[in-house]
Amino acid sequence: MIKRLVNATKRALGKSNPGRYFQVFDDDTFIVSFPKSGNTWTRFLIAHLIHPEETPNFGNIDRLVPESEGLTTNQLAALPRPRVMKSHQYFDARYRKVIYIVRDPRDVVVSQFHFFRKRRRIDDNYPLEKFVRSFVAGETCDYSSWGGNVASWLVTRQNSKDFLLLRYEDMLASTEVELNRVASFLGIGVTPEIVAQAVERSSADQMRKLEGGSSTALVTKNSRQDIPFVRSANIGGWKKTLPEAAVAELEDAWGDLMVYLGYELQHPEKRAAVDFRFTERN
Amino acid sequence: MIRYLAEGVKHAFGLHRPGRILPVLPDDILLASYPQSECTSLQFLLANLFHPDREVNFDNLRHVVLDPDVSTKRDFDRSPRPRIMNTRSGFDARYRRVIYLVRDPRDVAQSRYETLRKLRKIDDQLSIADFIDRFLAGKDVQERSSQDDSGSWGENVGSWMAVRSSHPGFLWLRYEDLVADAERELKRVADFLGLPTDPKKISQAIERSSLVPLVNERNELPEAQVASIEEAWGDIMACLGYKLTTRDPGDALKSSLIALLMSDGRAARPVPGNGNRP
């Protein structure tokens, strides 16, 4: 009863965390992705563009590009508009303007596995195969499965002018090109110097240094310090780590969607006729 | 301040509307549909199917079929299990058992236009052409509440379709099929929910739900507006078995992501509305 009253009072005073159920405005922009798909890196890059006067780090990133679900009602209401916020949510019709980042699920699962070890949600002996199984079933987090999250946004919004799809792999390969796309999507005029500086200051090396200097950000607090948050930031690392059966399981679940997004399959013979790609649309 | 306190007291006594923060239980049954899809008919049918000994009417329906945005938390706490819930929201990953009631968007559009005019939610002078533009964008009512997450028809249906179309805990129900053969469709629902499918019980539920007659009122939309709807959502409509009148369905399905996800790339999966029936 006491707990209920405390919660009720908190909520009444706007000091509770509304989770998915917070007030969305039409001029909000969301940086959305399934977890471990390069969202934090993208937040840093975009923070450089929208706040050129500040240098983003793990201490201020939650203020510059806040995590919508990490804040209380009052904190959310106090943010200057238009807001640019991070989210991991599957399709939410209230989000009008969305930058969606997608990453090869075979890399995502490995990254999430290490992240869960860092957050002490699984111990060091937890088998990777078992983790992949719950990953495919969408049981590793509250944001649906990888395929569910990605498909829910693509099916509903891929034709909208208020939707920008970024592939993490393209961002790594040609960061400046992709960042220029983001700037024009957001309607921000940028000079080549600003873009170059954003890229340089958000490199994996720089991010690792920033992480070492601070552990107050929501993404890293209360976690194991022996496992870094900014890991290898690479493409195709799964080839060395993921067991063959796990790869087959992932491709069996989402092979079509992966081909559609331009990810080459280990077992393409299982896919009969996916003869079109998202990339061909642009 | 008074408003805050009133809210706080409501929360403390469970009289608030839990909305999306409602804790979902594994056996909850969710009825999902877009507005104007005649969901009330299905609510009555299900309420009568679950509670053959209780008289269900417009006054007590909302205690039997709960709506997180309308029913209070106390209603939820007192509801027998499994709870039956109703939503207009797009895809929601928390529910394990979902029945999606879908209706032809051309009928939904027409019906919504008339309803919103009747309710004075849209200007009487608004032409059907202008209305359809708004309808397609999911902005048919100008000042929708910031919590309204029903989206457009295509977004609502498509979001569920994209994620759950081949999930064993998901059942498509077309309103048109319910009108054509309520017994057959209600039997599918009972099968899905693991309820007895005794024909007598099914007929009784249908009879008791007769206060909302199952009819599909249709008015012809102008051809140009039909074309806009089919241009926007032709692939979803074709996947659901709705006949297109202004374009070739093959054309609509070509290079369609939703068709790809529904067919699973390997063997064509039966689409709801024709092959999906026992």
A38: closest CA of chain B, how far (Å): 22
Residue type, A282: N
Q: Give the pTM.
A: 0.90
> Considering CB atoms only, which of A152, A256, A259 is closest to B163?
A152
Structure confidence at residue B273 as a pLDDT band (50, 70, 90): very low
Query: Residue A19 corresponds to which tokens in the numbers above?
Result: 């989770």
Token code pair at residue A96: 């009008």
Q: Is the predicted pLDDT of residue B4 greater than 70, yes or no? A: no
CB contact under 8 A, A93 and B91: no
ipTM: 0.88
Q: Which residues of B touch A13 (CB under 8 A)?
A: 4, 8
Q: Which pLDDT belongs to residue A52? A: 86
- Asked if residue B157 lies in contact with residue B89, where contact means CB atoms within 8 angstroms, the answer is no
Section B117-131 average pLDDT? 91
pLDDT of residue A71: 82
Q: At B204, list the tokens.
A: 């009784």
Give the DSSP H or E segment for B66: strand B65-66
The residue type found at B196 is: P
Q: How open is the CA angle B210-B215-B216, to the nearest 5 degrees?
A: 155
First-to-last alpha carbon distance for chain B, in angstroms, is 57
Burial class of residue B196 in the structure, from the number of CB atoms within 10 Å of its CB (0-12 exposed, 13-18 middle, 19+ buried):
exposed
- What pLDDT band is residue B236 in, cutting at 50, 70 and 90? very high
Q: Say how many CB pairs under 8 Å bridge A and B.
A: 118
- Give me the tens of pLDDT residue by residue for chain A, a chain 282 residues long: 677 667 766 666 666 666 666 788 889 999 999 999 999 999 999 999 999 888 898 888 988 999 888 888 888 888 888 999 999 999 999 999 999 999 999 999 999 999 999 888 898 899 999 999 999 999 999 999 999 999 999 999 999 999 999 999 999 999 999 999 999 999 999 999 999 999 999 888 888 888 877 656 666 777 777 777 777 777 888 999 999 999 999 999 999 999 999 999 998 876 656 666 765 554
Query: How far apart are alpha carbons A190 and A50 in whole angstroms?
Result: 10
**Closest CB to B12 among A8, A156, A157:** A8
How far from the centroid of its chain's Cα atoms is residue A260's Cα? 20
Look at residue A266 in the predicted model and tell me its pLDDT.
Answer: 92
Contact B270, B183 (CB under 8 A): no
Q: Which of B159, B261, B266 sits opposite A156 (nearest CB)?
A: B159
For residue range B41-74, what is the model confidence (pLDDT) as tens digits? 999 999 999 988 888 999 888 888 998 777 888 8
> What confidence score (pLDDT) does residue A252 get?
93
Q: What is the pLDDT of residue B278?
A: 27
pLDDT above 90 coverage of chain B, percent: 58
Q: What is the pLDDT of residues B132-180, one digit of tens each?
A: 999 999 988 766 666 788 999 999 999 999 999 878 999 999 999 999 9
A262: which 2 tokens?
Answer: 């331009």
Mark B229-263 as b/e (b = at least 16 C-beta within 10 Å): bbebbbbbbbbbbbebeeeebeebbeebbbbbbbb
CA distance A8 to chain B (A): 5
Residues A102 and A261 sit within 8 Å (Cβ to Cβ): yes
pLDDT, position B277: 33
Q: Give the pair of three-digit tokens for residue A255.
A: 């092979």
Q: In which band, very low, low, confident or very high, does the pLDDT at B17 lie, cut at 50, 70 and 90? A: low
Nearest to B257 among A4, A142, A155 (CB): A155
CA separation for the pair A154, B158 (Å, rounded) = 10
Q: What is the mean pLDDT of chain B?
A: 86
A105's torsion region: left (phi>0), alpha (psi -120 to 50) or beta? Answer: alpha
Tell me the C-alpha distance between B46 and B32, whole Å.
13
Under a CB-based contact definition with an 8 Å cutoff, are residues A244 and A260 in contact? no
Q: Do B163 and A144 touch (CB under 8 A)?
A: yes
A180 and B CB contact within 8 Å: no
Which of B85, B96, B91, B87 has its CA nearest to residue A92? Answer: B91
- Looking at residue A279, its pLDDT comes to 59
- Out of B8, B150, B260, the one facing A9 most closely (by C-beta) is B8
User: pLDDT tier at B21 (50, 70, 90 boundaries)?
Assistant: low
Percent share of chain B, pLDDT over 70 = 86
The pLDDT, as a whole number, for residue A75 is 84
Residues in chain A: 282
pLDDT at B268 over 60: no
**With a CB-CB cutoff of 8 Å, which residues 209-268 of chain B face chain A?**
255, 257-258, 260-261, 264-266
State whether A272 and B265 contact (CB < 8 Å). yes
Choose among B68, B70, B61, B65: nearest CA to B83: B65
With a cut of 70, say whether residue B82 has pLDDT above it.
Answer: yes
Task: State which amino acid sits at residue A65.
Answer: V
Mind telling me how many Å the CA of B205 is from chain A's nearest CA? Answer: 35
Decide if pLDDT at B266 tops 70: no
Answer yes or no: are the C-beta atoms of A196 and A65 closer than 8 Å. no
Strand order across the beta sheet in which A84-87 lies: A84-87, A29-33, A97-102, A163-167
